[in-house]
């Protein structure tokens, strides 16, 4: 395990290293020391030159193999800092670290493509910087940026175009699958929220024993529980399972967690995964209620910015991990955040506290069902239609009257329409 020093510069206030430390550990690093600075950004070293020298001394003293800097570094700043450090010490900025974690977690074709796309988008401006530098300076490898290959920019742009086309193709197939699930009577509910908010644990609490994967048919009998490790980015691709909420058939999807201060190009690279949130019938926005009020507020604001940009479904805010918060503190947070999170549902995915209240809220918040009564003749396919209704709707009553069957049920509007068409076909069938 590589020993690392984490560092961060802020313009004002105190630098918080908790998230970058968690990210470093999630990537498999051993964090042995830290360094912070409050000052305006230095164009050459990001930190002041004196602080860069202090960082070098700290790295040497701790025998660290890498420095992880919780800021976005330009290519020249990366080079200049590396020149201050002991030989062969790696310099990793925030976004390089995130991409490294994404690469470790990517197990599906879609996730792997999204990681590759993000890496290329990260590399493109650096290739452009080499191009610009090559025009100004004839020395190869100037500033440690390496030999300039004029074809590299074109290669990156061509690869980006190819990956986007393949991701668009995958997205079209997923949209078709979503519509097929709706036509089968399922409501689609998405879990959204920051990493380590407890989404996977909550999903495990709500889920039935069937999983519906990204590339699977409707009901493959796979691993019955989602991963719920205390680990950032455990869920990089989407995981979809049937949820136990009551009378409605719900498919619950968990996706990659949000994380603060992500550049647009990185969020855009994972847009295909976020489509599962944007195109759901209902979104459960999961927030860690055990965090500070300031952290909860900041994450709610960022989550709303992400969700309301494209999402049209209703959003129910879930205050998770209430087992770590006393009643007085929880009530204070609810009152303080009421404008951002009106009427949140307090739950504990770990203990199961208030899960029943959450499932009831899910059923109330989902798009309204229609009620229908069908009087069916006793024909060869009548019982097949009744069985289909039990699979795709909530049947309230089934009564037999002579040569007819009266079925009362509730269902999504498209299911009611299909049932009427099937019933009409039965009525038209010859005796």
Task: Check which CATH number belongs to the domain holding 203 and give it.
Answer: 3.40.50.300
- Cα distance between residue 97 and residue 99, in whole Å: 5
Task: Report the pLDDT value the prediction gives residue 228, as an integer from 0 to 100.
Answer: 39
Contacts of 103 (CB under 8 A, 6+ apart): 115, 119
Asked if residue 296 belongs to a domain, the reply is: yes
Crossing angle of the two packed helices 109-136 and 75-84, in degrees rounded to 10? 80
Task: Report the pLDDT value the prediction gives residue 217, as an integer from 0 to 100.
Answer: 37
Asked if residue 310 belongs to a domain, the reply is: yes
32 annotated among ligand-binding-site residues: no
267 annotated among ligand-binding-site residues: no
Task: Report the pLDDT value the prediction gives residue 153, as an integer from 0 to 100.
Answer: 82
- Cα distance between residue 286 and residue 317, in whole Å: 6
Q: 3-class SS at 380?
A: coil
Final residue belonging to a domain, choices 317, 346, 365? 365
Task: Report the pLDDT value the prediction gives residue 130, as an integer from 0 to 100.
Answer: 66
221 annotated among ligand-binding-site residues: no
320 annotated among ligand-binding-site residues: yes
393 and 418 fall within a common domain: yes
Asked if residue 291 belongs to a domain, the reply is: yes
255 annotated among ligand-binding-site residues: yes
Final residue belonging to a domain, choices 338, 365, 392? 365
21 annotated among ligand-binding-site residues: no
304 and 239 fall within a common domain: yes
Task: Report the pLDDT value the prediction gives residue 279, as an integer from 0 to 100.
Answer: 81
Number of domains in the chain: 4
211 and 333 fall within a common domain: yes
Task: Report the pLDDT value the prediction gives residue 233, as an integer from 0 to 100.
Answer: 47
350 annotated among ligand-binding-site residues: yes
The DSSP code for 73 is: P
Domain harbouring 382, CATH code: 3.30.70
- Cα distance between residue 309 and residue 253, in whole Å: 20
| Residue 195 Cα to chain centre, angstroms | 8
65 and 15 fall within a common domain: yes
198 and 344 fall within a common domain: yes
Q: Is 189 left (phi over 0), alpha (psi -120 to 50) or beta?
A: beta
266 and 379 fall within a common domain: no
**Does the reported pTM lie above 0.85?**
no
161 annotated among ligand-binding-site residues: no
Q: Going residue by residue through the chain (431 aa), what tens digit of pLDDT does each one get?
A: 899 999 999 999 999 998 899 889 988 999 999 999 999 999 999 999 999 999 999 999 999 999 999 998 887 898 899 999 999 999 998 888 888 887 887 777 887 888 888 888 888 877 776 666 555 555 444 444 455 556 788 899 999 999 989 988 888 887 787 777 777 778 889 898 887 888 888 988 988 644 444 444 333 322 333 343 434 444 455 678 888 777 788 888 887 677 766 666 666 666 666 777 878 889 999 999 999 999 999 889 888 887 876 767 889 999 999 999 999 999 999 999 999 999 999 999 999 999 999 999 998 898 888 899 999 998 888 999 999 898 888 899 999 988 899 999 988 888 888 899 889 888 555 55
Task: Report the pLDDT value the prediction gives residue 142, as an integer from 0 to 100.
Answer: 43
Asked if residue 178 belongs to a domain, the reply is: no
Asked if residue 276 belongs to a domain, the reply is: yes
* CA distance readout (Å), 396 to 53, 259, 386: 74, 44, 12
Task: Report the pLDDT value the prediction gives residue 208, as an integer from 0 to 100.
Answer: 62
Domain harbouring 59, CATH code: 3.40.50.11060
Task: Report the pLDDT value the prediction gives residue 269, as an integer from 0 to 100.
Answer: 63
246 and 334 fall within a common domain: yes
Supply the range of the domain harboring residue 98: 3-102
Report yes or no: 232 and 101 within 8 Å, Cβ to Cβ.
yes
323 annotated among ligand-binding-site residues: yes
Final residue belonging to a domain, choices 170, 200, 215? 170
- Token pair of 101 as six digits: 């974690």
406 and 331 fall within a common domain: no
- Token pair of 383 as six digits: 């019982």
48 annotated among ligand-binding-site residues: no
Asked if residue 66 belongs to a domain, the reply is: yes
254 annotated among ligand-binding-site residues: yes
Contacts of 33 (CB under 8 A, 6+ apart): 5, 6, 58, 61, 62, 64
Task: Report the pLDDT value the prediction gives residue 231, as an integer from 0 to 100.
Answer: 42
218 and 329 fall within a common domain: yes
- Cα distance between residue 332 and residue 347, in whole Å: 16
Task: Report the pLDDT value the prediction gives residue 72, as an integer from 0 to 100.
Answer: 85
232 and 332 fall within a common domain: yes
Question: Of 24, 39, 79, 35, nearest to 61 (Cα)?
Answer: 35
Crossing angle of the two packed helices 271-278 and 109-136, in degrees rounded to 10? 130
Task: Report the pLDDT value the prediction gives residue 265, as an integer from 0 to 100.
Answer: 63
Task: Report the pLDDT value the prediction gives residue 212, as an integer from 0 to 100.
Answer: 47
Q: 3-class SS at 233?
A: coil
349 annotated among ligand-binding-site residues: yes
Asked if residue 177 belongs to a domain, the reply is: no
273 annotated among ligand-binding-site residues: no
Asked if residue 181 belongs to a domain, the reply is: no
200 annotated among ligand-binding-site residues: yes
Task: Report the pLDDT value the prediction gives residue 273, as an integer from 0 to 100.
Answer: 65
Q: 3-class SS at 257?
A: coil
203 and 58 fall within a common domain: no
Strand residue runs (E) in 125-171:
none
Contacts of 230 (CB under 8 A, 6+ apart): 196
342 and 386 fall within a common domain: no
């Amino acid at each position: 395990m590589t020993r690392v020093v984490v560092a961060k510069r802020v313009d004002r206030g105190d630098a918080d290293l908790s998230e970058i430390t968690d990210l470093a550990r999630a990537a498999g690093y051993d964090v042995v020391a830290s360094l912070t600075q409050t000052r305006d950004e230095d164009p050459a070293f990001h930190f002041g030159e004196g602080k860069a020298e202090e960082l070098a001394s700290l790295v040497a003293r701790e025998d660290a193999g890498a420095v992880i800097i919780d800021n976005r570094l330009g290519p020249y700043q990366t080079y200049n800092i590396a020149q201050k450090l002991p030989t062969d010490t790696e310099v990793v900025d925030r976004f390089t670290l995130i991409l490294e974690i994404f690469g470790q977690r990517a197990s599906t074709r879609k996730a792997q493509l999204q990681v590759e796309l993000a890496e290329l988008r990260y590399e493109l401006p650096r290739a452009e910087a080499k191009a610009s530098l090559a025009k100004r300076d004839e020395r190869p490898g100037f500033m440690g940026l390496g030999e300039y290959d004029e074809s590299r920019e074109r290669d990156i742009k061509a690869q980006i175009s190819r990956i986007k086309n393949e991701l668009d193709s995958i997205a079209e197939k997923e949209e078709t699958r979503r519509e097929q699930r709706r036509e089968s009577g399922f409501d689609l509910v998405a879990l959204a929220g920051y990493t380590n908010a407890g989404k996977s644990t909550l999903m495990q609490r709500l889920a039935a024993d069937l999983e519906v994967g990204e590339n699977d048919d409707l009901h493959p009998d796979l691993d019955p529980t989602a991963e719920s490790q205390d680990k950032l980015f455990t869920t990089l691709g989407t995981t979809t399972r049937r949820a136990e909420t009551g009378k409605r058939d719900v498919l619950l999807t968990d996706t990659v967690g949000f994380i603060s201060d992500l550049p647009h190009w990185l969020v855009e690279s994972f847009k295909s995964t976020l489509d599962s949130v944007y195109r759901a019938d209902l979104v459960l926005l999961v927030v860690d209620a055990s965090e500070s009020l300031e952290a909860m507020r900041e994450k709610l604001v960022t989550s709303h910015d992400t969700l309301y940009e494209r999402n049209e479904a209703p959003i129910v805010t879930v205050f998770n991990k209430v087992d770590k918060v006393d009643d007085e503190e929880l009530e204070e947070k609810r009152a303080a955040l009421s404008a951002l999170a009106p009427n949140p549902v307090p739950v504990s995915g770990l203990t199961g506290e208030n899960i029943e209240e959450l499932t009831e809220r899910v059923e109330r918040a989902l798009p309204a069902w229609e009620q229908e009564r069908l009087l069916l003749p006793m024909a060869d396919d009548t019982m097949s239609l009744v069985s289909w209704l039990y699979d795709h709707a909530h049947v309230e009553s089934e009564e037999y009257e002579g040569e007819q069957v009266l079925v009362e049920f509730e269902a999504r509007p498209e299911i009611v329409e299909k049932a009427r068409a099937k019933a009409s076909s039965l009525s038209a069938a010859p005796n």
